[in-house]
Chains A and B, each alone.
Chain A
Amino acid sequence: MIVNLEKFIARERPGWERLDRILRRLAADPARTLALDEVRELERLYQRASADLARLATFAAEPEARHYLENLVGRGYAEIHGAQAERRRLRPWEWLARTLPQTFRRRAAAWRLAVALLLAGAAFGGMAVALDPAAKPVLMPFSHLLGDPAQRVAEEERPTAAGRMDGRKATFAGQLMTHNIQVAFMALALGFTWGVGTLIFMFYNGVILGAVAVDYIMAGQTQFLLGWLLPHGVIEIPAILVGAQAGLVLAGALLGRDGREPLAGRMRAAAPDIVTLALGAALMLVWAGTIESFFSQYHAPVIPYAAKIAFGAAEGTALTWYFILCGRKPRGAGKAGT
């Protein structure tokens, strides 16, 4: 039997067009919430279009009409069965005050692993420089770090040195932000190598950090080192670690330790945390770039080292409080009504 397609389409077309209009309205504003009547109408029209598609597929399957209906049913299916939780408008404050710190704590194991690799790299780099100072060019591929630390400190503490960043501080801040954000995103993206790339990346960054630190400490420039690195490093290094944490969460989803959940399901569950951590790292690096350019580059006597170190310590304390305590439910929450 072949259905009378002309009459069939003429009869059903108003419903399809109405469904099309509702779906277009929703497409124009993804955060729009439908009223109960609209939800009922959407569901009814979708069910009807589904039934029409079933009839067309069974009987006279004219390809154009079928494609049109398939497209309509596909869009309707996405609306009706889609993830409602993400349809809400973005709430930056809620994300900052709750979502990011909660996600960080939920994925703390990945953070600890990233920290362990960074520290292992730092220990290796520090020991290498301590045992063989000639290895500096290999360990620190940055020309401005290869010289004698004491000589650099002397040059940067000269009164005339304070103005060396004049007229290019904002540019330098922009360069730092974009470069460091790309580094953090790379630490995340390397999670796709089942985490191996992320771990090597963190170890290598640790090697550089450890080598620089030991080089300055051995030269008796510990105060300069702390005053130079702490104000921005206390945010920048954790930010890179958060990027690596996201990469290790990605790797964890790929490896799937329990093995019961299929890969697609594991990725779907991990994706919001990965994105949250990546955006958090980016935000931290905007702050770190600003501080590094506008504050870290000034040394004593322009800004006393004690002030710089105190500023870094205050930032570190605030960051620790943020990630450990911010967004926690108050004691007794959730017990009401029990």
Chain B
Amino acid sequence: MSADRTQMLRIATPEGVAFSFRLASPLLRLGALIVDFAAVLAAWSMVGVVIRLLGLVAEDLAQAVNIIGFFVFSQGYRIIGEWRWRGQTVGKRLLHLRVVDEQGLQLTFTQVVLRNLLRFVDFLPLAYGVGGIAALVSRRGQRLGDLAAGTIVIWEPVAPQPDFTTLRGDKYNSLRAHPPVVARLRQAAGPAEARAAWQALARRDELEEAARVALFATLADHFKSLTPIPTDATEGVADEQFVRNVVDVLFLTRG
């Protein structure tokens, strides 16, 4: 799974549970940086129209507004964005990135300002050379600004809500006629196996036919190897249906 290849940061809470952050890769961060750069230029080009109009009546003032305004906007854009949008700018939002506190706490205004102020050194000598190397070397992918501010950039891919319709629990399940088999399956099958079977059902339409047949055959053989299954529970039942029946009895209890 892609999630397993992603670098994770796990935080344990005093309540005795843990939650994870997926650290953003330097490539994704570079993408967000480019988007933000383009967003700043695009927004400022629109402001530029107003400034040009101002220049018709007061050229000196218009020049000053252009110089100071662009400096404030280009530096302040990320600070205001990350502060008001909980660690996100337009680029980060598009790429599902977010700046968070490295201890999982509330991101503070101080942290946001500091990590952005230190872009001056991260940018050295050219195009985020120092920051890029620091992010590659750092265990948590932090550039110098992140190290000083105690922040990390995480990746939050959109997670779909759990879909229980994949189980189709209202259909006849031949395994339920054999409660001892159901009990043994529940005892023998671990959470990882149950999850793998469910995921296979949830994603069946994404698989090519040959691969799907092979996958469900493997899964069916595995579950059949866990406990003896009566013939009438498997006779005439395709491997995929058998796996569906197994997942149904593993996850759902029916009165």
Contact = CB atoms under 8 A, between A and B. Distances in A.
A174 B68 CA distance: 5
B172 interface: no
Nearest to A10: B164
Interface stretch (B24-32, B106-114, B208-216, B226-234): B106-114
Contacts of A264: 102-103, 150
Contacts of B118: 188-189, 192
A2 B186 contact: yes
A20 to B, nearest CB: 12
Interface in A247-302: 250, 253, 264, 267-268, 271-272, 274-275, 278-279
A272 B162 contact: no
Nearest to B163: A64
A8 B200 CA distance: 22
A100 to B, nearest CB: 14
Interface stretch (B36-44, B56-64, B173-181, B237-245): B56-64
Q: For chain B, which range describes its interface: under 10, 10 to 19, 20 to 34, or 35 or more residues? A: 35 or more
Interface in B64-109: 64-68, 71, 83-84, 86, 100-109
Q: For chain A, which range describes its interface: under 10, 10 to 19, 20 to 34, or 35 or more residues? A: 35 or more
A185 B117 contact: yes
B225 interface: no
B67 A174 contact: yes
A39 B60 CA distance: 53
Interface string A165-204: 0011111011101100110011011101000000000000
Interface of A: 1-2, 4-7, 9, 27, 30, 46-47, 50-51, 53-54, 57, 59-65, 67-68, 70-71, 73-74, 77-79, 81-83, 86-87, 90, 167-171, 173-175, 177-178, 181-182, 185-186, 188-190, 192, 250, 253, 264, 267-268, 271-272, 274-275, 278-279
Contact of A271 (B11, B114, B144, B199): B114
A167 B59 contact: yes
Contacts of A63: 3, 195, 199
B150 A189 contact: no
B13 to A, nearest CB: 5
A179 to B, nearest CB: 9
Contact of B120 (A7, A9, A185): A185
Contacts of A278: 113, 117
B16 interface: yes
Given A2-B191, A78-B105, A82-B106, 5 more contacts: A4-B251, A47-B15, A77-B11, A190-B121, A264-B103
A57 B16 CA distance: 11
Nearest to A182: B120
Contacts of B137: none
B191 to A, nearest CB: 5
A181 B167 CA distance: 62
B252 A83 contact: no
B33 interface: no
Contact of A68 (B111, B159, B164): B159
Contact of A86 (B61, B110, B144, B147): B110
Contacts of A54: 16-17
B220 interface: no
A70 B20 contact: yes
Contacts of A77: 11, 13, 19, 104-105
B226 to A, nearest CB: 14
10 contacts: A51-B17, A64-B160, A68-B161, A171-B64, A174-B65, A192-B121, A267-B148, A271-B110, A274-B114, A278-B113
Nearest to B121: A189
B156 interface: yes
A170 B60 contact: yes
Nearest to B120: A189
B191 A71 contact: no
Nearest to A176: B67
B110 A272 contact: yes
B71 A178 contact: yes
